[in-house]
């Protein structure tokens, strides 16, 4: 019942209470009375009726006033408070009930406010804890990612389906070096988050190792498996697999994925094979020659009285074979010196880095000024840098202590396979005996003792050291001879802005492999791409000259996982189009043609949904190559132009530039396929929530909505 109705009812009840007893009493008395008595009463009452009625009305009015007041304070007051409490519960946490009305109501309001305060404190605490936990998880992830990226070994983490969840920079570089053809030219398409490891490693081998690990887990042994595999390019990889275990608190730990550490052992094996070869050629190869010599010598000794001509022939045999052996020995040494000397693990370092390290310590600790003369900044040597720097310090300190030198200079000279590192000083010459003793004793420098002698350090490098004088200049120097290294040129990161996005732990939940049209848009893996072409008419002979693409995995644009390749169109560029795409004849010449690039791009897109801005245009170019290359792009294609038309049908322009401005996205350059692909990717990610507002959540819904827009009717 409404409050107003209740109020009216209460007034009615009050009226009845005030008049009811009198009326009922009068009626009962009236019934009992005689006719004369009734007449007498009527006379008596009627004359006094006005005052009675007046008194009753007066009382009734007071009653209504009291009732109204009570109603106002208790019923309506509480009703208002209820609304305020509702507000406080939902919309505005900081709202507090106003203390007004009678003391009882005020007390209720006060208790409600106290409860709210208590709730706020609890909520704040919970939020703070959640934020703290999130921050620590994020920090740990970052630490892990940073750690992984610094590892010298290639590490790849996969879920049980073989999807890559995490990989480090070394893995990227290693697989990039492995991948052949246009894929490597285009930036290592093989490895990527959410991609299958089986495109790199033999599936059977990986599954076999998983089986071994499962068995070892059941058997309670250390779960680890190793295998060596050959890549398509003929490289040998040694792979170690360990499981990622989860739910280890109770019962059997379940495997949820695996970690692979990958070493490319091709070079190591080649080196071992070379060493083997050298050994073989020196042993087996010498047997035959030695056999001839020994037999001839035995004859000469055993039959001293043989005729001179025969004797001459046996002596010649010895001479021949001996010189053949010498020649073979020289040859072997020449071919295999590197392989035979580098037993100690030497690393490739810049000679300049070694010198700088030594200079710093000599100046800081020995207070001895140093200089460099003619140091080749780009000279790489194979060295154990710690022991080499220590050797330099050792000599510097000796020279300072015994020969009072004023400064020390460094110089490098490169002679073919050998690098000379010279330590030069002006002043008194030292005797060869002194230097010999320095060479052999255990090194000491800056109060530290090494376990090695100078000779040990030199031997370790397969090098030499000697002492030489430049008499004219009154100078002398020690010359270290060290092996020159040919550094493996590592490909620099193309886009190393910020922390690399090499990990995605959410993929642990990712199970399905094929593209399911009813999966949520936000969960899918996409390849966003763009092409630059010689012109706008694919069916009139215009050709693709650049393909740029980037991947979106779990709602993140992975700027490290890109495909970027210039294509030789095998036809002249149109001069009027060059200012648009900025690609010149010089740039396309010598690049692979579409027959080579398209398979690489196809592999890059595998198992992803394609996205392009005005996709029909780019798809048409790809389709025209189907017959020639046999490569078909059969996956679903989303078009950001159409999706934009779905989201904002009343906007005039859906050109990429207009979209970028509307969505507040800024990019470096336009009309470069890769930059445009990146921009399109950003656009797509911004469109996702807007599509969701319209109830478009799955790929199927997005495709259907796109089809219905006006723009989809424009065909190329």
Partner 1 sequence: MSKKILIVDDEPNIVMSLEFLMKKEGFEVATATDGEQALAQVAAFSPDLLLLDVMMPKKSGFEVCEALRADPAQGGLLIVMLTAKGRETEVAKGLAIGADAYVTKPFSTKDLVARVRQMLGLA
Active site positions, annotated: 671
Question: Which one, 321 or 439, has the nearer CB to partner 1?
Answer: 321
Decide: is 283 part of the binding site for partner 1 (CB under 8 A): yes
Nearest approach in angstroms of CB 336 to partner 1 is: 19
Binding test (CB under 8 A) with partner 1, winner from 260, 296, 553, 573: 296
Question: Parallel, antiparallel, or unpaired for β 370-372 and 408-415?
Answer: parallel
Decide: is 254 part of the binding site for partner 1 (CB under 8 A): no
Decide: is 63 part of the binding site for partner 1 (CB under 8 A): no
> Terminal CA-to-CA distance of the chain, rounded, Å?
69
Decide: is 294 part of the binding site for partner 1 (CB under 8 A): yes
Nearest approach in angstroms of CB 297 to partner 1 is: 9
| Listed ranges 155-163, 306-314, 428-436, 501-509: which one lies at the site for partner 1 (CB under 8 A) | 306-314
Decide: is 315 part of the binding site for partner 1 (CB under 8 A): no
Question: Which one, 317 or 691, has the nearer CB to partner 1?
Answer: 317
Decide: is 637 part of the binding site for partner 1 (CB under 8 A): no
Binding test (CB under 8 A) with partner 1, winner from 263, 320, 335, 353: 320
CA 568, CA 582: separation in Å to the nearest integer? 14
Measured CA distances, 608 to 239, 327, 640 (Å): 27, 62, 16
Phi and psi torsions of 168, nearest 5°:
-105, 175
| Listed ranges 199-207, 229-237, 288-296, 611-619: which one lies at the site for partner 1 (CB under 8 A) | 288-296
Decide: is 273 part of the binding site for partner 1 (CB under 8 A): no
Question: Which one, 287 or 715, has the nearer CB to partner 1?
Answer: 287
Decide: is 290 part of the binding site for partner 1 (CB under 8 A): yes
| Listed ranges 284-292, 437-445, 450-458, 580-588: which one lies at the site for partner 1 (CB under 8 A) | 284-292
Decide: is 302 part of the binding site for partner 1 (CB under 8 A): yes
CA 192, CA 561: separation in Å to the nearest integer? 6
Which token pair is 672? 């470069």
Decide: is 309 part of the binding site for partner 1 (CB under 8 A): no
Helices marked H in 631-698: 640-647, 656-662, 673-693
Nearest approach in angstroms of CB 319 to partner 1 is: 10
Question: Which one, 221 or 280, has the nearer CB to partner 1?
Answer: 280
| Listed ranges 50-58, 291-299, 481-489, 506-514: which one lies at the site for partner 1 (CB under 8 A) | 291-299
Decide: is 287 part of the binding site for partner 1 (CB under 8 A): yes
Nearest approach in angstroms of CB 592 to partner 1 is: 46
Question: Which one, 281 or 337, has the nearer CB to partner 1?
Answer: 281
Residues 6+ apart with CB under 8 A from 697: 520, 521, 691
The alpha carbon of 273 is separated from its chain's Cα centroid by a whole number of angstroms, namely 37
Sheet holding 418-426, edge to edge: 370-372, 408-415, 418-426, 475-483, 464-470
* Residue in 181, 193, 186 with CA at minimum distance from that of residue 563: 186
Nearest approach in angstroms of CB 339 to partner 1 is: 21
CA 679, CA 530: separation in Å to the nearest integer? 10
* Residue in 549, 679, 507 with CA at minimum distance from that of residue 189: 549
CA 580, CA 534: separation in Å to the nearest integer? 10
Torsion of CA 122, 124, 125, 127, to 10 degrees: 120
What does the binding site for partner 1 look like in residue numbers (CB under 8 A)?
Answer: 283-285, 287-288, 290-296, 298-299, 302-303, 306, 310, 313-314, 317, 320-321
């Amino acid at each position: 019942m409404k409050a107003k109705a209740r109020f009216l009812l209460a007034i009615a009840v009050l009226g009845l209470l005030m008049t009811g007893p009198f009326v009922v009493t009068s009626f009962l008395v009236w019934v009992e009375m005689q006719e004369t008595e009734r007449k007498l009463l009527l006379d008596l009452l009627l004359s006094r009726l006005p005052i009675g009625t007046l008194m009753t009305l007066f009382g009734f009015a007071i009653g209504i006033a009291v009732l109204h007041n009570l109603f106002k304070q208790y019923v309506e007051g509480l009703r208002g408070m209820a609304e305020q409490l509702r507000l406080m519960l939902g919309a505005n946490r900081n709202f507090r009930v106003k203390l007004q009305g009678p003391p009882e109501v005020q007390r209720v309001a006060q208790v409600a406010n106290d409860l709210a305060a208590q709730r706020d404190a609890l909520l704040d605490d919970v939020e703070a804890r959640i934020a703290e936990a999130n921050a620590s998880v994020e920090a740990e992830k970052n630490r892990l990612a940073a750690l992984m990226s610094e590892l010298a070994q290639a590490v790849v983490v996969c879920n049980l389906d073989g999807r890559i969840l995490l990989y480090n920079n070394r893995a990227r570089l290693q697989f990039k070096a492995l991948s052949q053809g246009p894929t490597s030219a285009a930036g290592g398409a093989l490895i990527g988050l959410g991609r299958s490891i089986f495109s790199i490693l033999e599936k059977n081998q990986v599954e076999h190792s998983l089986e071994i690990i499962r068995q070892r887990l059941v058997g309670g042994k250390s779960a680890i498996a190793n295998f060596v595999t050959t890549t398509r390019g003929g490289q040998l990889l040694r792979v170690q697999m360990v499981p990622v275990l989860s739910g280890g608190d109770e019962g059997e730990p379940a495997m949820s994925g695996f970690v692979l550490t990958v070493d490319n052992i091709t070079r190591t094996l080649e080196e071992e094979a070379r060493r083997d070869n050298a050994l073989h050629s020196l042993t087996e190869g010498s047997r035959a020659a030695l056999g001839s010599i020994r037999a001839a010598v035995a004859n000469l000794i055993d039959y001293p009285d043989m005729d001179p001509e025969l004797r001459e022939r046996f002596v010649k045999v010895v001479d021949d074979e001996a010189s053949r052996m010498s020649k073979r020995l020289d040859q072997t040494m020449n071919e295999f010196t590197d392989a035979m000397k580098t037993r100690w693990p030497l690393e490739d370092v810049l000679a300049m880095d070694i010198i700088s390290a030594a200079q710093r310590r000599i100046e800081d600790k020995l207070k001895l000024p140093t200089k460099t003369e003619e140091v080749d900044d780009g000279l790489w040597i194979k060295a154990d840098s710690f022991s080499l720097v220590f050797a330099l310090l050792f000599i510097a300190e000796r020279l300072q202590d015994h020969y009072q030198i004023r400064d020390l200079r460094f110089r490098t000279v490169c002679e073919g396979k050998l690098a000379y590192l010279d330590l030069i000083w002006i002043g008194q010459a030292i005797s060869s005996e002194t230097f010999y003793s320095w060479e052999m004793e255990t090194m000491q420098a800056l109060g530290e003792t090494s376990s090695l002698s100078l000779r040990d350090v030199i031997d370790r490098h397969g090098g030499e050291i000697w002492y030489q004088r430049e008499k004219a200049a009154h100078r002398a120097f020690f010359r270290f001879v060290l092996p020159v290294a040919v550094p493996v040129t590592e490909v620099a990161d193309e886009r190393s802005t910020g922390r690399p996005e090499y990990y995605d732990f959410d993929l642990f939940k990712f199970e399905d492999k094929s593209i399911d049209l009813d999966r949520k848009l936000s969960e899918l893996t996409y390849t966003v791409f763009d092409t630059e072409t010689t012109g706008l008419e694919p069916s009139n002979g215009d050709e693709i000259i650049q393909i740029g693409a980037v991947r979106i995995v779990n709602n993140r644009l992975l700027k490290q996982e890109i495909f970027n390749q210039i294509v030789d169109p095998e036809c002249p560029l149109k001069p009027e189009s060059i200012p648009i795409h900025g690609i010149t004849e010089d740039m396309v010449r010598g690049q692979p043609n579409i027959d080579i690039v398209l398979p690489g791009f196809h592999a890059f897109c595998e198992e992803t949904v394609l996205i392009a801005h005005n996709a029909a245009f780019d798809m048409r170019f790809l389709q025209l190559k189907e017959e020639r290359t046999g490569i078909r792009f059969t996956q679903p294609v989303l078009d950001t132009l159409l999706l934009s038309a779905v989201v904002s049908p009343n906007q005039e322009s859906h050109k990429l530039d207009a979209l970028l401005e509307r969505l507040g996205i800024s990019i470096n350059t336009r009309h470069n396929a890769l930059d445009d692909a990146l921009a399109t990717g950003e656009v797509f990610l911004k469109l996702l929530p807007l599509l969701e507002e319209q109830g478009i959540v799955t790929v199927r819904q997005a495709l259907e909505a796109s089809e219905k827009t006006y723009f989809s009717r424009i065909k190329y």
